[in-house]
Structure 1
Amino acid sequence: MRRSHVISLFVMFAAVSVFIVVMAFVGQNPKQKIAAPTATNPVIIEPTLAPTESNATSTPAATDNVTPAPTEEPTAEPVVRPVINPSDFYDFSTKEAEFSISNSRKVEDDPESMEFTIDPDVLKVLDGYEYIYRKTEGPEKTVYITFNLGYEDKNGSTLKILDALDAAGVKATFFISKNYFEENADIVSEIIKRGHLVGTRGDIFAKGSSGNKTGMVYLTPDKFSDVMWSIEELYQQLAGENTRMTLYRPEKFSVRDLALAEALGYTVVFRSYSYYDWDDSVDRNKALRSLEDNTCSGVVLQLSSSKVNSLILGDYINWARDKGYSFATLDAQGS
């Protein structure tokens, strides 16, 4: 065979081999063409964009629909004892007086024509000081029931009175003496628990410097202050240390006592009407009629925790409401 024939066969064999290899490679993925990067055919990589305000997905703020944490209420501060200078009260008159008042109707059938007259000598002592005997600045046709507590609680009358007030939905004001706080703390606690207003009577058995007479009017200014604060401490043991009484009903009083009460933060309270209700022999119907006949707008009734009052209280409240009256404590909580 000629040399030229051999070379031709070799070239043909090489060409066929290359063709077979190329076809085999392309046949593995005939749908995909891979081009090597060149200057005219570069590989382009799309950049990944960082989130921006324009392309970020909006999500609710973490604070949306979140209940705020409760705000702690400030703790009430304990009541601080008022401080007085005893010498500031040495020049005040200590001449004692006892509240005395009378009343009458200008028109017999019109309870709102009731007139109250304080004894002129008592008025001289009261002149220049704030006090309550009738509340004319409150709502019209409002009655203020008050009770004096200071002596033995006979027959459980106070609790019966509390039950009668509860049944009628009426709040009253109770003036309580030091000895009653000490001897009947459970009853005083019940009065507070049931939402009634408490005032002080001072110490009705306090002995003066001579020891012969009893009552707040016979105490020295510093002793007067000490006794009043000691009663506040008894009250706070039952009602809480951040509370205090602001109403004072004295048995007897002087100009000096009124000045002391004012300096110690008390409003002095007297009465519009009272009757001999501490005597359990009093006729029930007469007692009820006496309250009805002396009822008018703003009247301050002074009652004791007697058996007769526990019996007639519910009937009196019903009668008064039928006549258009409502009831309130002396700090104007109505019912």
Structure 2
Amino acid sequence: MKKIDFLDWSLDAWFLALCLMLCLTCMAFSCSLNAQEKDTVILRDSAVTEGDSVDTFNATVQNVVNETRRIVKRRAQAASRFLNERYIIVIDPGHGGTKYIDKGNSAKLDGIEYHEKDMMFEYAQLVEKKLAAAGYEGLRKTKEAADDSSLSIYTRAGRAAKFGKDAGKKVLFVSLHWNNFEDPSVGGTEIYIKESQNYKSRKLAEFLRGSMSHILQMHGAGQNITGIVERDYRVLREMDTGVLIEIGYASNPGDLRKMLSQKDEIATAIVNGIDAFAEYMQEQEAQKQMPNDDPKKAAEDAKLAEIPSIPFGWSWRKKDISADVDHLMKRYDGMYEKVTTEKEIYLTFDCGWENGYTPKILDVLKANEVKAAFFITGGYLKSAEDVVARMVQEGHIVGNHSVNHLSMPQLKVREMKREILGLEQDFYDLFEMKMNYFRPPSGEWSRRSLAVTQALGYKTVFWSFAYDDWDVQAQHGRDYAYKKITQNVRPGVIILLHAVSKDNFEALDAVIKDLRKDGYVFKSLDEIK
């Protein structure tokens, strides 16, 4: 008798062989199978007896495998038909053209430079091909060439909506991007969805998370610990169902290597997630169960609302920061200074309105090759969009200072979120970039406001030195600003300056040059771990 080589069997064969053995055992005890049950594999004449050959046994297992695969295929085809009748799938290769940024980020690996727009277009083509092979019809992309720099994020969102309108269907929108960060250890996948009427988007994101997480770990924190983040970016909020997938961090060598070497696996995982969503939608439609919003969100907000919101003001001096406050900063991802003995300085500016000096400050920073963080308000973004664009283009951090510069401790949880996310939404719609740092207006904070900020995935940035520079009617001159800054620096200091100050602009070049002579290095907030 031919010897059975079990090692040659696939996992499918192993699993189904066990099922077959179980069926045979049940038959031996006179258990009958219901032959009328739909999609059930019936084993009658193919039952294996003790005298059957191994070849017959293997053939039986293969028959079971083939029949099971046919069942799975029929289910997938039914799900794709269901989605085809109701949705048009639009794939959006991120970047490639905005008013300010053309290529998105670039990254190097093994001496070769890669651009986000190029890689995401390759992914879009691959996902489109695999979706078509899976039976999805009417697939569209928001652009047909990686170098189509005429298509801004506004144009792409409008084009996706028009695809749906022309087809008389809802839009299932999948926008593809990569992430970037100065710390190369940060990595993982993030999936963004809109904030309201988002139940279907969240379910799609959950299925994508499940299918993609075996390739790249999920990146998340706070309320977004699962890697699924709510943001009302235009490309999401105007779609019935949509996700923005940050596949991985190009700044993380491991992530970038996977994005380059495992394109087929990652694209397949995206398609599998859409397949699972289609099956879920089909089942929910049959049961007439389709809530509009994720019920977990209200519970999360209620939990945040239970945290006390006693207001505090941030001191101008480090010596006024108590041990209790320091503990809260660590607990809620707040920062005011880096603990170090190295001569490092972190330069930040608050921008509530433009007084004509921010472009000049940018000139000084560029000439001295210094990167800073600029915390802007919603009003500043609207009135000085070109200045913000320059901050982005020259590699500075653009931080969130809220939409309306309201006192955060006085707001309800949802109001806090609107103040933070409203600005991030407008910023993303212009630049296709997220915000990671939040500075509370007027330095006013509470334990609850810290918790809300953390839940949204932000780090709260205070300062360990500032001075009375914000009053444009009470400027004291270049020398006053120079002495104030240079006499109060120390290792790890986060300096807060206001960009409306003429004194700050006039003193800045000398401050940078002289502090460098004294051994200080100017660093980015991204370098604080």
Q: TM-score, normalised by structure 1?
A: 0.65
User: 2:177 is matched with which residue?
Assistant: 76
Correspondence 1:300 to 2:494: yes
The offset of 1:184, in angstroms, is 1.6
SS of the equivalent of 1:135 reads: coil
Distance (whole Å) between structure 2 residues aligned to residue 238 and residue 332 of structure 1: 26
Do the aligned partners of 2:308 and 2:446 also contact (CA within 8 Å) in 1? Answer: yes
User: 1:188 is matched with which residue?
Assistant: 388
Matched to 2:351, the amino acid is: L
Distance (whole Å) between structure 2 residues aligned to residue 79 and residue 326 of structure 1: 36
Correspondence 1:199 to 2:415: no
User: 1:56 is matched with which residue?
Assistant: none
Instruction: Spell out the pairing of 1:43-82 with structure 2 (5 A cutoff).
Output: 73-74=119-120, 75-76=176-177, 79-80=192-193, 82=229
User: 1:128 is matched with which residue?
Assistant: 331
Which residue, 430, 433, 438 being the options, matches 1:248? Answer: 438
User: 2:273 is matched with which residue?
Assistant: none
Instruction: Spell out the pairing of 1:227-306 with structure 2 (5 A cutoff).
Output: 227-240=419-432, 243-251=433-441, 252-280=444-472, 281-305=475-499, 306=501
The offset of 1:174, in angstroms, is 0.7
Distance (whole Å) between structure 2 residues aligned to residue 146 and residue 239 of structure 1: 21
Identity %: 31
Do the aligned partners of 2:404 and 2:419 also contact (CA within 8 Å) in 1? Answer: no
Distance (whole Å) between structure 1 residues aligned to residue 344 and residue 326 of structure 2: 25
Distance (whole Å) between structure 2 residues aligned to residue 124 and residue 327 of structure 1: 26
Q: Kindly tell me: are residues 257 and 190 of structure 1, through their superposed partners in 2, closer, same or farther at Cα, counting changes over 3 Å?
A: same
**Bigger CA radius of gyration:** 1
User: 2:321 is matched with which residue?
Assistant: 118
Do the aligned partners of 2:316 and 2:466 also contact (CA within 8 Å) in 1? Answer: no
Which residue, 342, 345, 351 being the options, matches 1:140? Answer: 342
Gapped regions of structure 1 (runs ≥ 5): 1-69, 104-115, 206-213
Which residue, 372, 376, 384 being the options, matches 1:172? Answer: 372
Do the aligned partners of 1:291 and 1:316 also contact (CA within 8 Å) in 2? Answer: yes
User: 1:328 is matched with which residue?
Assistant: 523
The offset of 1:136, in angstroms, is 2.1
Which residue, 186, 206, 224 being the options, matches 2:416? Answer: 224
The one-character-per-residue Cα deviations of 1:198-234 (angstroms, maximum 9, x if unpaired) are 11011344xxxxxxxx423222112222232211111
The one-character-per-residue Cα deviations of 1:219-265 (angstroms, maximum 9, x if unpaired) are 2112222232211111112321xx31111110311111111111100
Distance (whole Å) between structure 2 residues aligned to residue 127 and residue 90 of structure 1: 20
Q: Kindly tell me: are residues 237 and 231 of structure 1, through their superposed partners in 2, closer, same or farther at Cα, counting changes over 3 Å?
A: same
Gapped regions of structure 2 (runs ≥ 5): 1-113, 121-175, 179-190, 195-228, 231-296
The offset of 1:169, in angstroms, is 0.9
Matched to 1:271, the amino acid is: W
Distance (whole Å) between structure 2 residues aligned to residue 276 and residue 147 of structure 1: 13
Distance (whole Å) between structure 2 residues aligned to residue 224 and residue 190 of structure 1: 28
The offset of 1:120, in angstroms, is 6.4
Correspondence 1:90 to 2:305: yes
Matched to 1:131, the amino acid is: G
Q: How many residues align?
A: 239
SS of the equivalent of 1:237 reads: helix
SS of the equivalent of 1:134 reads: coil
SS of the equivalent of 1:327 reads: strand
The offset of 1:122, in angstroms, is 4.7
The offset of 1:126, in angstroms, is 4.6
Do the aligned partners of 2:334 and 2:450 also contact (CA within 8 Å) in 1? Answer: no
Distance (whole Å) between structure 2 residues aligned to residue 320 and residue 314 of structure 1: 10
Matched to 1:193, the amino acid is: Q
Matched to 1:303, the amino acid is: L
Q: Kindly tell me: are residues 79 and 158 of structure 1, through their superposed partners in 2, closer, same or farther at Cα, counting changes over 3 Å?
A: farther
Matched to 1:129, the amino acid is: Y
SS of the equivalent of 1:190 reads: helix
Correspondence 1:149 to 2:344: no
Between 1:71-80 and 1:176-185, the stretch displaced more is 71-80
Between 1:303-312 and 1:221-230, the stretch displaced more is 221-230
Q: Which runs of 4+ in 1 moved over 4 A?
A: 119-127
Q: Kindly tell me: are residues 95 and 185 of structure 1, through their superposed partners in 2, closer, same or farther at Cα, counting changes over 3 Å?
A: same
SS of the equivalent of 1:92 reads: coil
Kindly indicate whether structure 1 or structure 2 has the higher relative contact order, using CA contacts under 8 Å at least 6 residues apart.
Answer: 1
Matched to 2:498, the amino acid is: S
Do the aligned partners of 2:350 and 2:374 also contact (CA within 8 Å) in 1? Answer: yes
Do the aligned partners of 1:101 and 1:119 also contact (CA within 8 Å) in 2? Answer: no
